[in-house]
Structure 1
Amino acid sequence: MLADIASSLRAWLASELPPGTGIGFDPLGVVAGIERRPSGAGLVNVFLYAVSEDLDGLAGTRVRVVDQEGRVAGTVSPIRTYQLSFLVTAWAADTNEELELLGAVIGAHAERDSLSGDHLRGGLVHIDTALPMRLGWAPTAHAAEVWSAIGTSMRTSLVLTVSAPALPQRVRQVAPPVRTRELDVHDLTRSGDTAPTAVSRRRRQRPTTAEH
């Protein structure tokens, strides 16, 4: 799921940023060594620094899977949603160009605040809902704490949080539906009885039936 989110973010940003802009997902310690890039060939780096589970609305029981005939074929674990927080930084020829790239990210989010449609990649193409994105908010540590943790000087950055589901992979099979039911009738009279009652005679005469 994480790789699919990264690929989806790359597709979204590639459609919004100026041509020639690189898009990376490297740790901040790696890109911090970049001094300056050529003019017009900036880099927008989207570093995943926190993952937290969204417990609101989590189903308490397993979810049924229905086949093409409408029958329950199995069950899967409840779909869990996670908040993925990214630190977005720009690395370009000068500070002004970096701010322009970050401004382009803000403008792209203002136009579309969710991942959907042709931007989704991997297993996410099969979901029937958009993935909300929030800019400037994260349920976990603040950006300043992230910079402090990696021991790198703080610079202008954006926090982008994507809400994404973890789709269950394992289906627990259920017992197949009953398709045939056989009914059998036994003589309930005692062996010593010489004159069976009318009810017992009717029971002996009732045939075995099969229900399909």
Structure 2
Amino acid sequence: MIDEVDAALLALLSEDTLPGTDIQVAFDAPTKEWTARRTAPTVNLFLYDIQEDMSLRQEGSAVEYDEDGAVVAEHDAPRYFSLSYLVTAWTSRPQDEHRILSILLAGLVRHDVLPPARLTGTLAGLGLPVSMSIAVPPVRDRGLADIWTAVGGNLKPSLDLVVLAPLAGSRVRAAAAVTDGLRLHASDAYTGADESRRLNLPDVPAEDPAAALGVPRERELPAERRRRGGGSRPVGPRR
């Protein structure tokens, strides 16, 4: 799911927000070593925090049907995670960096959700909105200055981008539909003959109402057993 959010953001910035420019998009940690290797104007999206939004956790499962309306699987409810990105611009002049940040802010603030056309993989398959916010004060106690200290870089103007993305729950396939009827195995107490047959008899005449309702017909007893009084007599030791 995280790589799918990265891909959606990359497409959104490259094709919608910064089209026709030579500005690169990266997802590296903005360390001093990375800054020294940079050779072109760059927008960097550093994923610095991943946390589950517990207020959106749901219980239960959803049922998946096929084209014929049969149940094929059950899915646990998706769980939502906040992905926080530190967005910075890198050029040789601060004025150019401010201009790029202004373009990013104007472009991203128009989107409350990632455009569905940019979603791929499981995010596209779920069909759920992937919300996003830009430059909203973080609800956590940790400030962005602490992030710069952690990565060993120099403090720069930045935008805090938060994407709330669903993670697909586990999928349990349903058991295959039963297409074969119950098989009945019987043994004749008088002759010792065995018989095995299915209860859902094929090609039942339409005038047989019991069979039309799926009720199996009773097997006709042999003539010899009818003369003896039927097959309901208990079998026991002879006296």
TM (normalized to structure 1)? Answer: 0.75
User: Kindly tell me: are residues 132 and 30 of structure 1, through their superposed partners in 2, closer, same or farther at Cα, counting changes over 3 Å?
Assistant: farther
For residue 46 of structure 1, report the CA deviation from its aligned partner: 0.2
After superposition, the Cα gap between the structure-2 partners of 1:124 and 1:158, relative to the gap in structure 1 and judged at 3 Å, is same
Root-mean-square deviation (CA), in Å? 2.6
Unaligned runs of 5+ in 1: 187-205
1:175 aligns with 2:175: yes
1:36–1:92 Cα contact (<8 Å) kept:
no
In the other structure, the counterpart of 1:144 is 145
Q: How does 1:106-185 map to 2 (within 5 A)?
A: 106-137=105-136, 138-140=138-140, 141-168=142-169, 170-179=170-179
Which structure's relative contact order is higher, taking Cα pairs within 8 Å and 6+ residues apart?
1
1:61 equivalent to 2:80? Answer: no
1:76 aligns with 2:75: yes
Letter of the aligned partner of 2:36 in structure 1? I
Q: Secondary structure at the match of 1:124?
A: helix
In 2, Cα distance between equivalents of 1:121 and 1:105: 22
Identity rate of aligned residues, in percent? Answer: 27
- What residue is the counterpart of 2:11 in the other structure? 11
Partner of 1:24: 26
Q: TM-score, normalised by structure 2?
A: 0.67
In structure 2, the gaps of 5 or more residues are 187-216, 220-239
Aligned to 1:100: 99
Q: Which residue of 2 aligns with 1:47?
A: 46
1:195 aligned partner: none
> Secondary structure at 1:112's aligned position in 2?
coil
Task: Show the counterpart of 1:2.
Answer: 2
Q: Is residue 88 of structure 2 the alignment partner of residue 85 of structure 1?
A: no
Q: For residues 32 and 26 of structure 2, what CA distance do their matches in structure 1 show?
A: 11
1:100-133 superposed Cα distances (whole Å, 9 cap, x missing partner)? 1111110012222321233223433333233111
Maintained 8 Å contact 2:31/2:153? yes
Deviations 1:54-97 (A, max 9, x none): 12232212332222222222222221110000000110120000
Are the equivalent residues in 1 in contact too, given 2:32–2:152 (CA < 8 A)? no
Query: Which structure would you say has the larger Rg?
Result: 2
Q: Secondary structure at the match of 1:46?
A: strand
For 2:33 and 2:129, locate their aligned partners in 1 and report how far apart those are by CA, in whole Å: 30
CA drift at 1:150: 2.0
